Amino acid sequence: MAVMINVPETAAPGEVVEVKIIISHPMETGFRTGSDGKLVPRNIIHELTCRYMGQEVFRAELHPAVAANPFFSFFVTAQESGEVELSWVDEAGETVTETRPIEVG
């Protein structure tokens, strides 16, 4: 599963930084039929969370109307050096966790 995450490598204490993530995912709605005429089972990422300094800083719930390859952008206040941890789970049961370091100082 290809994914692109952009967390600034460095930030000043108290700086508001933008976190961007785009995930390669079909976001199959469950309403489409395949070439065999049967419904393709629904498989969407239904939850994405971001943790920083051991604390949840962002959470999104996704629904079938969200397009394929979802993109998120949100802001986090940089306080101390550490890892920004992003994880998401889809309905095929696949859980992915990615971390990116951020240096504050």
Partner 1 sequence: MAGQVERAEGGAAPRLRPPRDICRKARWSGAVVAAVLAGAAGAQDGRVSTYEQMAPELRAMQDDDFSNPGLLWAQTGEELWAEPSGADEVACAECHGAAEEMAGVAAHYPDWDEESGQAVDLAARINLCRQRHQGAEPLERGSEALLALTTLVALQSRGQPIAPSEAPQMEAVRGQGEALYSTRMGQLNLACATCHDDLAGGRLLAAEIPQAHPTGYPQYRLEWQEMGDLDRRLRNCMVGVRAEPFAAGSQEFVALEAYLKARAVGMEMEAPAIRP
Helix (H, G, I), strand (E, B) or coil at 1: coil
CB of 83: closest distance to partner 1 in angstroms?
A: 19
**Nearest residue (CB) to partner 1, 4 versus 92:** 4
Who's near 8: CB < 8 A, 6+ residues apart?
17, 18, 78, 102
73 binds partner 1, rule: CB under 8 A: yes
CB of 17: closest distance to partner 1 in angstroms?
A: 13
| The two three-digit tokens of residue 98, written as one number | 């990615």
- Are 45 and 94 in contact by the 8 Å Cβ rule? The answer is no
Total residues binding partner 1 (CB under 8 A): 14
Contacting partner 1 (CB under 8 A), which of 10, 39, 64, 69? 69
Who's near 54: CB < 8 A, 6+ residues apart?
none
Q: How far apart are CA 29 and CA 76, in angstroms?
A: 31
24 binds partner 1, rule: CB under 8 A: yes
53 binds partner 1, rule: CB under 8 A: no
Residues in contact with partner 1 by the rule CB under 8 A: 2-4, 6, 20, 22, 24, 26-27, 67-69, 71, 73
